Amino acid sequence: MPLLRSRKRFCQLLLMIILGILSFLVSGAEFSAEIKQGDIAKRSDEYFLSVNIDYHLSEKAKTALQNGVPLYWNLLVKVKKSPDFFWDKTWLKVAKRYQLQYHALLNMYRVKNEDNGEVHSFSSLSSALELMSVIIDLPLINKALLDPEHQYLCLIKLDFKRDDLPLPLRPFAYIDPQWYLSSEWTSWPLKK
Amino acid sequence: MDIMAPEKIKPPVNLSVLILFGLILLSLQLMSSAMQESSELSAMYSWLLLFNTLGSVVLLVLVGANIYALLQHTKRREAGSRLTARMMSLFVVLALAPAIIVFYFSMQFLHQGIDSWFNVEIDRAMEDALELSQASLDQRMRGQLRQTEQLIDQLEGFSENAATIEIEHLRELSGASEMTLFSKQGRIIASSSNNPADILPSLPEEHIWLQLRQNGFFMALAPVHEHELMVRVIVTVKSLESQYLQALYPVPVRIADLADSVEFASARYQEMSYLRNSLRMSFSLALSLVLLMSLLAAIWVAFISIRNITAPVKELVKGTKAVASGHYDQILPVMAQDDLGFLVESFNDMTNRIAQARDETRKVGVEVENQRAYLETILGNLTAGVISFDETFKIRTANQAAYRIFRVHVNQFVGKTLLELVETYVELVEPLKSIQHLLENADDIWQQRIAFLGPNGRQELLCRGTPLFSQEGFRVGSVVVFDDVTDLIQAQKNAAWGEVARRLAHEIKNPLTPIQLSAERLQLKLANKLDSSDGAILQRSILTIVQQVEAMKEMVDDFSEYAKPSKKQSLNVNISHLIQEVLALYTLREGVRFKARYQSGLQIVNGDPVSIRQVIHNLIKNSLEAVGLEGLIEINVHRVLKNNTDFIEIALYDNGAGIKEDQVEKIFEPYVTTKVKGTGLGLAIVKKIIEDHGGAIWVDNGRKVGAGFIIQLPACNSELS
């Protein structure tokens, strides 16, 4: 019986550690981005998404940026049935990929759209973030791909790529809430 | 247990452990490779780190569980646990000490190595280089601003159409790559570019317009493509209506490359400097993880290996314990053909031989036991009691007959002397003391007849004792064999007296009748022939002859009565009732008072009522003769507990002449009497009847007046309950 008691105690300890880690990660929501003012428009059988994103860079993220560390975000878009089952098909794609980097020589913030290679330079961080904030008429999906019998949802998430941080920063970025800069999934219904 | 077939010598670790070790090494190598930024594995760095951390946790749990199990085994003092603990401690100390030393110095070198990448001079140089580049570019921008401002004068006074032509000229003159004239509202008035493919000029962004309206000019460096720089200059043209002239000057490729190089190096250095602590921690983490995993894996494998090594030792300890507790059939499995295997084989041979010896001993023991049981059976079924003693006269064995005779479980007093037995069984004081005395004093075979009043009434034992001597001649104990010869003696007596009575009747009583008849005939024939004096003499003589013949007849009858067995039947007799019945016959006699006291309750004895009645009659008659015409006869009947046995005691007292002291000893012997008349067999018959009933009778010496007799007869306990 002492063995069973010690096993129970060990399980309790493990549970407490997991809960501690979870609560620690949840507390990182302070710096997560927010998806605001989304709109889905349908033009000639194609759905387009316009959305406004609010970035909240933590001090650590800003310091890293100032020291030349490039930051990467992916805008993830998902279309799925509502309600959905796990066997239902889900369309997931990386709609946009941004790189934000500070250039000390020019004292400018440079935003690069990784999809088309477009580079924009800004003298202030807020201007650079503003560029990344506004997404207008992002093509989502063709109506032909959707089953007219069902309702669909469009889900959007801004995903901060901690895996693209410099290698020494990565382990700490996973446990430091200041590096949780992603947004939650936000959904809108696709109108028929 | 089956003997396992000998196996080949096995390595201390098996294949699965080697595979695990390989996986751990691979994982650590992958993580090490992933730490290189340029490596393709760098994207998997976090996963590898997590995997290795989880691996460490799993190993930690395994090691922890093993340590816990080992501690439990050690606590329970299980076989081989202490050896395992000692070996594990030794291994951990030997493995941990160098590992920690290497780890400590590795960390030192690592931190020093990382710190050596950075120093104040390089830091300063990098900052200066960047500042120099910025100053150089700034100077270039200011020069191009001044140059553009000078161009404004040439544009003043031109109409919009003329300005289109003039702007081409000015662009070529200034060396700008593009020149555009904007209206105040931002409308393009005129534009010129050195690239004919550019249809639209580069338009300023909103914040540029804002800055332009505030300052009147704008100047900035802007990256055009990946590695190209361009100076954007916008100045206000002060004509009738404010216009803006934008000129884009390309930065020479060499300068752009140099600036780019300086910026790259500076940014890289700044990034590294910023990541210094993270880098240090990251490397420390990786190194710690490598050390932890290696150590934990080594300790875990050590547990497995040491367990394999100590397994035969454990088996040996278990086997030894089993042998120590008498299980000689223990055969241990031979796990390996090494020294321990040889030891196990030797152990198996040893236990096998011990088992054989044990079996033989057991066989002999069984035979001895059978013999002993046989002897015990014989002893137990003997009618004679047998008690053996050691050299200090303490009881060693006693058979069932001893209990039957003494009514004492002598077996329960093994190790004690007979005198100690007496303390518990007082009624046996007489025979036991006698036996003890004889045991202590006899050096040879002895025989003794011992009579006592035991729980079965008066008993007579025929005891024979033999001292026992060892082969060396030392006394090692003694044996006493005793028989209850009460019945035998009584039967012999009865037979002897019966024979005497028969002979007396035949030899004495038979001639008495002719003598009496002859005497009576003489009187009849001669009475008339003799004179009166002779006739009187004849008559007296004849009377004397007849009286003496009658007396002799009576004597022979009494004797015959004495010789006959007195306990002819066995019935429950209530003594109180019986005495009352007898006394009723004497109460009419004047001058003699009878005083009888009976204890309440039943006074039952088992015997012949006629014989017991005769006893009472005889004693009362004796008392009546003793008291004469006046006197007092007292009879008390009560129950007494003597020698743990219930007796009915009848005490009979009179206030007559009493018994002389010299006659007290032999009063119960035949032909002893104090009376003028009488055969002297009365009290002998009484004693014989009482003894035939297992009782006893004696004269109460303590009485000062008259005579007193006390009779004790065994009470019938079944009636008491």
Gap between the Cα atoms of B496 and B29, Å rounded = 122
Q: CA nearest A169 in B: which residue? A: B278
CB contact under 8 A, B223 and A110: yes
Percent of chain B with pLDDT over 90: 5
pLDDT of residue B6: 45
In which element (H, E) is residue B314 found?
A: helix B276-324
- Answer whether A69 sits within 8 Å of B279, measured CB to CB: no
The DSSP call for residue B204 is P
pLDDT at residue B53, as a whole number: 85
Q: Dmax of chain B from CA atoms?
A: 236
Q: Which of B93-107, B216-230, B518-532 has the lowest mean pLDDT?
A: B216-230
pLDDT of B78 > 60? The answer is: yes
B394 or B487: which leads in pLDDT: B394
Token pair in block for residue B632 = 């007092």
Task: Show which of residues 171-190 on chain A sit within 8 Å of chain B, judged by CB atoms.
Answer: 171-172, 174
B226 neighbourhood in chain A, CB within 8 Å: 119
Q: What is the pLDDT of residue A29?
A: 61
pLDDT at B367: 94
DSSP string computed for B113-150 = HHHHT--HHHHHHHHHHHHHHHHHHHHHHHHHHHHHHH
| pLDDT for the residue numbered B2 | 41
Q: Are B711 and B690 in contact (CB under 8 A)?
A: yes
Whether B223 sits inside 8 A of A168 (CB atoms) is no
8-state DSSP, B507: I
pLDDT at B4: 42
CB A83 within 8 A of CB A57: no
Q: Is A170 on the interface with B (CB under 8 A)?
A: yes
Residue B457 pLDDT: 62
Q: How far, in Å, CA of B232 to CA of B222, rounded?
A: 7
Residue B721 has pLDDT above 50, yes or no: no
Query: Of A107, A167, A172, which is closest to B42 when you measure between CB atoms?
Result: A167
At residue A120 the predicted structure's pLDDT band, cuts being 50, 70 and 90, is confident
B639 bridge partner residues: B648
Q: pLDDT band for A61, please (50, 70, 90 cuts).
A: very high
Reported as a single tens digit per residue, the pLDDT across A150-167 is 888 888 899 999 888 888
Q: Provide the mean pLDDT of chain B.
A: 82
For residues B541 and B526, what is the distance between their CA atoms, to the nearest angstrom? 12
For B305-364, write each residue's pLDDT tens digit.
888 888 878 788 888 888 888 787 777 877 777 777 888 888 888 888 888 888 898 899
> Token pair for residue B327?
């299980």
Which tokens belong to B527? 């009475």
What SS3 state is found at B615?
helix
> In the predicted model, what is the mean pLDDT of residues A57-83?
89
This complex has an ipTM of 0.72
Long-range own/partner contacts, residues B492-495 (CB < 8 A, 24 or more apart): B494/B563, B494/B564, B494/B565
Distance from CA of A6 to the nearest CA of B (A): 10
Mean pLDDT over the full length of chain A: 82
pLDDT of residue A27: 54
The answer to whether the CB atoms of B263 and A6 lie below 8 A apart is no
Those residues with Cβ within 8 angstroms of residue B632's Cβ, 6 or more apart along the chain or in another chain: B592, B593, B595, B654, B655
Q: pLDDT tens across B571-584, in order?
A: 888 998 899 888 88
* Contact residues, A window 51-70, toward B, CB-based 8 Å cutoff: 63-64, 67-69
pLDDT digits (tens, 9 = 90+) for A134-148: 888 888 888 888 888
Residue B317, both tokens: 């300890």
